[in-house]
Amino acid sequence: MTARLPPHVSERLRRRLEALEPLGSLATDGVALGPGGERALGELAERLGSTFPYSEPRYAGQMLKPPHPVAWAAYAATMLLNPNNHSLDGGPATSELEREAVGSIAQMLGLDEPLAHLTSSGTVANLEALWIARQLRPGETVVSGANAHYTHARLCEVIAAPHETLPEDARGRIELDALEDRLRKGGVGTVVVTAGTTSLGALDDVAAAADLCGAHGVRLHVDAAYGGFFALLADGGEPPVEAGPLRAIARADSVVVDPHKHGLQPYGCGCVLFADPSVARFYLHDSPYTYFSSSELHPGETTLECSRPGAAAAALWTTLRALPLTRDGLGAHLAGARAAALALVERLRDRLELVVEPELDIVCVFPRLSSAAAISAATERAFEELAASGWHVAKLRLETGWLLRSHPWVEPDAATTTVLRLCLIKPEHLAVVDELAERLVAATSPQRPPG
């Protein structure tokens, strides 16, 4: 499959680069790049053409979309200064903007004055959360579900913490009975639950997990990297989301969210929050040349990363000023994505099989064929056919044994079953739902013999 921007998008990108050329410095007006610089930017425009059209509603593959124009403008302007949110002298203004922005996220999640900061990604944010968990409960096991992001097992290897995986239920949530059984055996220090899995968009029962953790004296970490901002819709309004798991995030010991997903930010913007601010003691360290400009605590003294882009903080802060963390503010973007998922499901119901009923904005479907192998083959054909016609979706490989829990009629003639996965992360998807549904049905229909 060849990645290529539509011609009109490639041309617009080239014009944007030309317009940006004279704006690349605060030292002078009208920056002269010289022949080499202009040639290099022209080559860049050509090379960037070999990219999938993430901004187009026909792209419903991975969790990718451009940042909001406000975020882009704020990031670009701040990059002219290139502040570093490590020490206060490296980014005095942007360090304050970061504190205010993460404070708004904490309020959205119901956390009262946590220790919180931005990171370069959700992966690093989860690393920090698990590292603190290991510091607090050394030698004890971290458990997560089979539905959790694979990064948790990998990160436990990095920090040398024992890790175990528990099964998932038929809805793609951590199996609570298995969790309770494991907690009764002892030796668990931290439970990881997921508010918005990256495969199905499933919401673990965070409240029930919090109850179990409380009963057994175990820490609770919520990976809400994908689903955390859906807390803006957990008010009973339309379109609906299941409010319980999102409201229960406030009971967590640590939480991760990714503003570069539903927060409309450029990549390089994760966020970790700790309910107990005293865990800052595990971060504290000294530097012979860095923390001298202020007696106030510097951002780098409570983060694992050193250099961090102040531009990321500026972009997030500006976005949240333009689109407050309310249903009518940033929530309107999530509502559009959620509405698109619900509308697509209604158009596909009884025409294609749903893996599960979508809880957020991810829809996974497959044709009603008799066996796992036949479903996978049809999915592969549909994936290629859709791409050839300009519709980009993703594939999801499932354990066939798990799929049989909700679709017992599937013949298990293969260990895994591949289905189509659509991430309707952009509200613009709502406008193309009808055509997308017809394309999906046509692409997954049994092949007719030639002629």
SS3 of 89, please?
coil
Q: Which fold has domain 332-444?
A: Aspartate Aminotransferase, domain 1 (3.90.1150)
pLDDT at 451 over 60: no
pLDDT at 449 over 50: no
Top CATH class of 92-322 equals alpha beta
Tokens standing for 97? Answer: 């903007």
For 396-413, the pLDDT digits (tens) are: 999 999 999 999 999 999
For 311-325, the pLDDT digits (tens) are: 999 999 999 999 999
What does the pLDDT average to over 20-49?
89
CA-closest candidate to residue 335, choices 433, 235, 239: 239
CA–CA distance, 47 with 29 (Å, rounded to integer): 28
The predicted structure's pLDDT at residue 292: 66
The predicted structure's pLDDT at residue 285: 74
In degrees rounded to 5, what are phi and psi of residue 407?
Answer: -135, 70
CA–CA distance, 318 with 100 (Å, rounded to integer): 11
For 110-144, the pLDDT digits (tens) are: 999 999 999 999 999 999 999 999 999 999 999 99
The predicted structure's pLDDT at residue 448: 46
Amino acid at 281: R
Residue 270 near residue 252, CB atoms below 8 Å: no
What percentage of the chain carries pLDDT values higher than 70? 97
Same fold, 92-322 and 332-444: no
The predicted structure's pLDDT at residue 266: 96
CA–CA distance, 12 with 37 (Å, rounded to integer): 19
pLDDT at 344 over 80: yes
CA–CA distance, 6 with 42 (Å, rounded to integer): 17
CA–CA distance, 394 with 414 (Å, rounded to integer): 20
* Domain range summary for the chain, segments of one domain joined by +: 1-51, 92-322, 332-444
